[in-house]
A and B are shown apart, each in its own frame.
Chain A
Amino acid sequence: MKDGEAGVAPVQVRGPVLTVRRIDAYYALTMVAPPIATRFRPGQFIAVAVGGPETSMLLRRAFFVHDVRPDHGGTVEFVFTARGPGTRWLAARRGRDLLDAAGPLGRPFPVPRDPVSCLLIGVDYGSTPLFPLADRLRSRGCQVDFLLGGSSVDRVFGALRARRAGRSATITTTDGSLGVRGVVTDMLSQVIHEARTDAIYASAPMPVLREVTMLASRYEIPVQACVEETMACGTGTCMTCVLPVVGADGITRIVRSCTAGPVFRGDAVRWDDVGTIPFDALGAPGWKPPGQPQEAAPGGPPRRAAGERGHAR
């Protein structure tokens, strides 16, 4: 597949489960889904229906694709924690059970044209989309360094694979059970210096992505941030996974992370305003088309919106 190809259409697949494996604190499920595997590009995700055809759980669960392999015509693997009824159901799947998955969804990681030095940052199982990305970057001659973190050794996903796949792999844990005691952002400056990083790819909780973007901007290093927002469908219809993103025209829009993302330019996301509708976002209460005078929102500002967090611009 060519780069810059404007999104290959996703497909809905009912495919058999191949394996469900326990990996430390996580589960990895592999299913046969040839059309997804062939279309997939790193950073994309799949939306999986849980609970079977008569399920009372209507929302699809979105997972980053961790691995695609050519066996059985094409398999897809994703990683999750069994923390709710839906993911517990997934963890209880066995070989040959059928699974309904839609994908590949979302905007993949853009990859640099030149062989540059890339730093891949992942926290917990947020690191899963970084491994197919690392393969792709290396195939293009890029240097790949990893910076992975988690609360403890069993929460850092893919430390071994990162050591094998990367030129270097720095691990942090908050309890010090593996690597350096601390969080990934503690080590970021050091790793950037040592690896002479040109570009950063990060997949982590929002506060980490925010801090990575902030630190990277000091070194003028571009960040591609992969976000994880609550989704109901994953396919772009439900409008629930939104966050404020500044466009090339300087206008903030409330965009869907499933279709405009999950990968965003770090400096385009208004991290401080995630979860809110910033007062200057297109269509915010009181918003007027450019050129017309702004006026106060009728009925006062809504909850958690309109400058409550005082975003200075």
Chain B
Amino acid sequence: MPVDLRTRLGHVELPAPVLAASGCAGTGRELAQFIDIARIGAIITKSIMIEPRAGNPTPRVAETPSGMLSSVGMQGPGIDAFLQRDLPWLLSRGARAVVSIAGSSAAEYAELAARLSDAAGVTAIEINLSCQNAGSRGQVFAHHPDAAARVVDAVRRSTRYDIPVFAKLSPDVTDITSVARSCVAAGSDGLSMVSAVRGMVIDTETMRPSLAGITGELSGPAIRPVAVRCIWQVRQVLRDVPIIGMGGVRSGRDALELILAGASMIAVGTAVFHDPSACARVQRELEDELAQRGVERVADVIGLAHHPARPAASPLRRQA
């Protein structure tokens, strides 16, 4: 029997719980060469900023054990080109677009949210909080509950009421639950967890940092346990807040792990670089994993790992 994969993103229903993570799906065109992007839950776009941005010098990437360190520096076309070219294309292909936004002040985020609210067809907004706050000596919004909350508040106020807003949290904090709480209090309809972990690689041949940007973002299966921990911790304190889980998901089994920790949806990121059809494959594998366990609806297993263990072999199998 097919598993019911429908899931809710705020009040929006998605046909499947597997998304393409921000920054790993390009504009969607690149992925569409290999998979049907209308069949996966949604595409989370590469973070959009107000102006076009050239990003960082190269080298921008270094391979690490089961991961990669990257420092692209938010290269992107800017909101005008995105609204003119990329968003209509995604919608024309029947894909759902969760638009990730990034800025250097709460006002910039708010402007982006307002522009997106005026455009038709935005399924949700993800707030990339791993950006430097120009007003606070370049500190990262996601690292401070108050700074994060100010951005979320500004975005929620300028976003149309029927577009859910998801704040994306960084695991590089002492207590992720306090950031999560303040984002939700400021109006975030859900949370995306986690963004990549800050890391660094030194090339021992040249004896210099491998990346032009010196430090970079570590992503891939190497950080999956970090993502599971963060989702678990936040789910413990905010039971009813929907979570898009991401961080090192490579297979259906990994997706299930994040869902058991409390994610309602999962996004596939770095795995796409390794396997351009990863999103579709993970979705297929997740369905198989659920079917093997006798689960009829993916919604039944969200956060199930928080439930105390039961002696019965399967707490899920319903009476036939």
Contact = CB atoms under 8 A, between A and B. Distances in A.
A242 B54 CA distance: 10
Nearest to A58: B274
A230 B220 CA distance: 18
A242 B55 contact: yes
Interface residues of B, number: 46
Interface in B274-302: 274-277
B133 interface: no
A55 B72 CA distance: 24
A5 B23 CA distance: 29
B264 interface: no
Tell me if B's interface is mostly helix, strand, loop or mixed: loop
Interface in A271-291: 274-277, 281-285, 287, 289
B270 interface: yes
A308 to B, nearest CB: 10
A302 B273 CA distance: 27
B276 A58 contact: no
A240 B67 CA distance: 15
A56 B75 contact: no
Given A230-B59, A239-B75, A12 B277 contact: yes
A102 B213 CA distance: 29
Nearest to B67: A58
A243 B212 CA distance: 13
Given A232-B70, A287-B52, A276 B63 contact: no
Contacts of B213: 303
Given A235-B34, A236-B30, A254-B75, A58 B57 contact: no
Given A59-B63, A230-B58, A304-B212, A298 B134 contact: yes
Contacts of B63: 57-59, 232
A308 B134 CA distance: 24
Contacts of A233: 272-274, 276
Contacts of A190: none
A139 interface: no
A71 to B, nearest CB: 26
Given A58-B67, A240-B72, A282 B54 contact: yes
A165 interface: no
Interface residues of A, number: 46
B249 to A, nearest CB: 13
Tell me if A's interface is mostly helix, strand, loop or mixed: loop
Contact of A102 (B34, B72, B212, B270): B34
B20 to A, nearest CB: 9
A181 to B, nearest CB: 28
B61 A240 contact: yes
Nearest to A105: B33
B68 A58 contact: yes
A287 B58 contact: no
A58 B270 contact: yes
Interface in A1-28: 9-12
A258 to B, nearest CB: 9
B78 interface: yes
Given A10-B33, A12-B34, A238-B61, A59 B68 contact: yes
Contacts of B275: 12, 49, 100
A9 B32 CA distance: 10
B315 interface: no
B52 A283 contact: yes
What 6 A-B pairs have minimum CB-CB distances, sorted nearest first? A283-B52, A283-B54, A236-B30, A233-B273, A240-B61, A240-B60
Interface of B: 23-26, 29-31, 33-34, 46, 51-61, 63, 65-68, 70, 72, 75-76, 78, 134, 138, 212-214, 220-221, 270-277
Given A233-B276, A237-B24, A302-B56, 10 more contacts: A12-B34, A58-B273, A235-B276, A242-B58, A242-B75, A254-B54, A283-B51, A283-B53, A283-B78, A287-B51
